[in-house]
Structure 1
């Protein structure tokens, strides 16, 4: 019934000083950040593919996957901008299960938060060095953001976190796009209130400091489907849902109206193969409606080397998700080419 204080962890500055980024990474990140920013501000008409494993559980497999993405990116760079998902924190609905590399650098071993903080930073640095991609991660713990803030080009706030004040205010101090998912209830007003808060300036307590932020004009929405009172999935990627979101955006005085469509989770009812069909439907909606073409900036897709998922332990299959099921590489590659063709 109490806390056991195991060890005091290094500050983000300590970890960043121990595992610094060089000038080449800094320059690459500045270039990537500007390219992505231009999509959200409307200066670029490229389409975003925020794509990758449900959870980044193995550094070698993740970097292998990113190198495959790089070959595809080079072929579709005139139409599509890929932001790999390298998700190191995983929310668990019941609190049970694998919580990501930050908790367990080795999923087969006990949690070790210090080793986890080092592991996620080293993996993100390696990902940039080898693939040339700066990546996306989920902000599950606002206090941890600065361990990776000099490496990430995109941040997502999950459906269970989007109503939390600390998440919203922390996003208001970010310099990169942050997607605020609709809550599991599906309430658009909650999601848009979160964007409104994140785009505003605030003064609050953060990591023991009184801080002040200037607001993040690149905060935007993510539609990930919802769940009704019976626990049944309710998709919200259809044309009518997108039109409703467009209308709700017009009622608000928000910067850079934008939405990313999450093709998995409650939109697919975690039927990962359906992500292909859902992606095509969203792209068709953009094609037939000029306003939606400006609103829908990209897709979020769960994908890995091998399709499906597996349990931790036993005969572990390299490049196969240990959390939610993902598209395999062959389907992923073809889908990315299809996205480029339809943009």
Structure 2
């Protein structure tokens, strides 16, 4: 038998009863959601930074990171809105390797999906309790949305998932901004089509039920660079790329045209230390053309407590250092946030 069904997982309703969100946190999330929505609709001219580790591998270090971020948020609140990246699902190109705390609450341990789902809710809720910041996560598995729909303020659809019908249809029923990344090929029309699908309502099967969605008018594009047939990175954050995306948006009837620029991945060629330079170029493009300024709502930046990355299982594990893609360290992150605030 190809599938071995080991045990039934708790339903989303059961898990939410075991790991609940308090009434106070619900108010915090509602206020944050409204502020983020206003940025995407153009009612607010604040700039978004979706910023944090490549993957949330340890609750202790992630909470230390988000606590530091919250202290900066208070100082830049008039210009920036900071959304911590607490990415609990990690897509893998080959399907092998660490897939995030949802799969492995202990990165060096065996998969444990029930413990992983509990860990996902705990890390998001504990961060909200300690910082007042609601976070972003990646929707690797559409059916899992129901486990986290009460705790997230931003959802990303990855480059390997954006062409998938179930991801697009699920995004159409989400009530917070959903960023649709360009595919690894770089084809912008695929990304635009995913936004069209997500902004419209659909009827489809979701978690074994027939469901109907109204469409998500906050679905938008995310430019993360591409990979050519030789495996080389092809950036798409330059002014000409932003102009092209604006033209493609204008050829549609999409609501709230918007883009978030990912400063790492194929835009940096995974050279994490290039993220500040890329950030400055995008901000210069916004300054040069008011139309681009209106289009580019924010940036995705990968950073953690320590710069770079490390393999899982090393004898000299460094606290707060990424075990997946390399990230900016905290000192440079702090300087960069203040620089972005000054330039916006």
TM-score range, shorter chain: over 0.9
In structure 2, what is the Cα distance between the partners aligned to 1:12 and 1:18?
A: 10
Structure 1: which 5+ runs fail to align?
Answer: none
Please report how far the alpha carbon of residue 315 of structure 1 lies from its aligned counterpart in structure 2 after TM superposition.
1.9
Please report how far the alpha carbon of residue 17 of structure 1 lies from its aligned counterpart in structure 2 after TM superposition.
1.2
Query: 1:71-110 to 2 correspondence within 5 Å?
Result: 71-110=71-110
Query: 1:41-80 to 2 correspondence within 5 Å?
Result: 41-80=41-80
Runs (4+) off by over 6 Å: none
In structure 2, what is the Cα distance between the partners aligned to 1:38 and 1:169?
A: 24
Q: Paired residue for 1:138?
A: 138
Q: Paired residue for 2:320?
A: 319
Q: Paired residue for 1:182?
A: 182
Q: Deviations over 1:175-231 (max 9, x none)?
A: 000000000000000000000000000000000010000000000000000000111
Query: 1:109-258 to 2 correspondence within 5 Å?
Result: 109-258=109-258
In structure 1, what is the Cα distance between the partners aligned to 2:253 and 2:90?
A: 32
Q: Paired residue for 2:294?
A: 294
Q: Deviations over 1:261-313 (max 9, x none)?
A: 00000000000000000000000000010000000000000000000000011
Please report how far the alpha carbon of residue 75 of structure 1 lies from its aligned counterpart in structure 2 after TM superposition.
0.7
**Does 1:32 find its partner at 2:32?**
yes
Please report how far the alpha carbon of residue 146 of structure 1 lies from its aligned counterpart in structure 2 after TM superposition.
1.1
In structure 2, what is the Cα distance between the partners aligned to 1:208 and 1:13?
A: 15
In structure 1, what is the Cα distance between the partners aligned to 2:108 and 2:250?
A: 49
Please report how far the alpha carbon of residue 108 of structure 1 lies from its aligned counterpart in structure 2 after TM superposition.
1.1
- SS of structure 2 residue aligned to 1:137: strand
Please report how far the alpha carbon of residue 331 of structure 1 lies from its aligned counterpart in structure 2 after TM superposition.
0.4
In structure 1, what is the Cα distance between the partners aligned to 2:99 and 2:239?
A: 34
Please report how far the alpha carbon of residue 316 of structure 1 lies from its aligned counterpart in structure 2 after TM superposition.
1.2
Structure 2: which 5+ runs fail to align?
Answer: none
Q: How many residues align?
A: 343
Q: Deviations over 1:27-53 (max 9, x none)?
A: 000000000000000000000000000
Give the TM-score, by structure 2 length: 0.99
RMSD: 0.6
In structure 1, what is the Cα distance between the partners aligned to 2:101 and 2:131?
A: 20
Please report how far the alpha carbon of residue 127 of structure 1 lies from its aligned counterpart in structure 2 after TM superposition.
0.5
In structure 2, what is the Cα distance between the partners aligned to 1:40 and 1:324?
A: 28
